[in-house]
Amino acid sequence: MARYQHILFDLDGTLIDSAPAILASFREAFAQAGITPARSIDESIIGPPLTETLQLLAGSTDAALIARLAEAFKVSYDSEGYKATAAFAGVGELLADLAGAGLTLSIATNKRIHPTRLILEHLGWRDHFAHVYALDLFPTRLPDKAAMIGRLLADQAIPREAAIYIGDRSEDGESADANKLPFIAVTWGYGSLQTEEMRAGWRMAPRPDVLREQLLTA
């Protein structure tokens, strides 16, 4: 019997390769605004919330500018851009196996809730997840991923000893730690943690089949 009944997943870089779609929409947003990005638009920027990423790319915290860029990004990404999102090889089978084993799966992502739902529907994964949380799920935006995971656990009455978080970045592990959850870092995504970045208690999974084994026999 699996040790963890509740499996909480990050989304970008963990379950899906959203980089091509996201980067294309960022480039389109800056092109429409006639602004040259302050740094390269590449995979290293993917993971943080939209506003934070736009501030980084723009080299500015000017509210009007960021709002204009955000609107252009959303129009691009939420209409057609998200459709270029692909599942990492083996992830669809992993999710089906975990759900088929009777485990409860949830999403806790920095991605906005609207495109998150669009992508889950697009990939045919909607029924795999009992709960889908994002920073903007509630009228008062959640401050960070750690708070989001805490809210998910509290709302759904999930015991911490029965849950685990799966992600691909240091922020994911730190957010799990903040909620006293175990953490497995997947290393097939673009936010892959290096061995020297791993903290005490964190585990690594280089492939979806290895993660499946860890979760079903842990």
Tens digits of per-residue pLDDT, 60-92?
Answer: 999 999 999 999 999 999 999 999 999 999 999
- Domain with residue 101: its CATH number is 3.40.50.1000
Q: How far is CA 137 from the centre of its chain?
A: 14
Nearest partner of 14 among 57, 46, 54, judged by Cα:
46
Q: How far apart are CA 69 and CA 53, in angstroms?
A: 11
- Provide the residue range defining the domain that includes 53: 19-83
Residues pairing with 183 in the sheet: 165
Instruction: Answer yes or no: is 107 within a domain.
Output: yes
**Is 171 in contact with 153 (CB distance < 8 Å)?**
no
Same domain, 71 and 160: no
Do 142 and 109 sit in the same domain of this protein?
yes
Q: What is the CATH number of the domain that holds 37?
A: 1.10.150
Evaluate whether residue 1 is within a structural domain: no
- Mean pLDDT (whole number) for 45-58: 94
pLDDT on residue 6: 98
Question: pLDDT, tens digit, for every residue of 186-211?
Answer: 999 877 788 899 999 999 999 999 99
Q: What single-letter amino acid sits at 82?
A: Y
215 contacts: CB under 8 Å, gap ≥ 6: 2, 4, 7, 98, 103, 164, 184
Q: What is the pLDDT at residue 2?
A: 83
Give the number of domains in the chain: 2
pLDDT at 1 over 70: no
| One domain, residues 90 and 56 | no
Boundary (domain end) residue, out of 32, 57, 83: 83
189 belongs to a structural domain: yes
Identify the DSSP state of 68. H
Helix, strand, coil % in the chain, rounded to nearest 5: 50, 15, 35
Question: What's residue 127's pLDDT?
Answer: 97
For residue 176, the Cα-to-chain-centroid distance in whole angstroms is: 13
Q: How far, in Å, CA of 176 to CA of 166, rounded?
A: 9
Can you give the pLDDT at residue 193?
87
The whole-number pLDDT of residue 205 equals 97
The answer to whether residues 26 and 13 belong to one domain is no
Verify that 145 and 183 share a domain, yes or no.
yes
Same domain, 56 and 94: no
> Is 171 inside any structural domain?
yes
Looking at residue 157, its pLDDT comes to 98
Question: Mind listing the pLDDT tens digit for each residue in 94-144?
Answer: 999 999 999 999 999 999 999 999 999 999 999 999 999 999 999 999 999
Count CB neighbours of 95 within 10 A.
24
Q: What is the pLDDT of residue 194?
A: 85
> In the prediction, which pLDDT does 192 show?
79
Q: Is the pLDDT of residue 15 over 90?
A: yes
More confident residue, 48 or 11: 11
Average pLDDT, the chain: 95
Domain match, 56 and 110 both: no
Q: Please report the pLDDT score of residue 218 as a whole number.
A: 61
Token pair of 115 as six digits: 């495109």
| Rounded Cα distance, 152 and 139, in Å | 15
Q: What is the pLDDT of residue 125?
A: 98
119 is a domain residue = yes
Lookup: tokens for 172: 């994911």
**Edge-to-edge strand order for the sheet containing 163-167?**
129-134, 104-109, 6-9, 163-167, 183-186, 203-205
Looking at the fold, whether 67 and 129 belong to one and the same domain comes out as no
| Domain final residue, candidates 83, 108, 124 | 83
Task: In whole angstroms, give the CA distance from residue 36 to residue 112.
Answer: 25
Residue 109 contacts residue 134 (beta carbons within 8 Å): yes
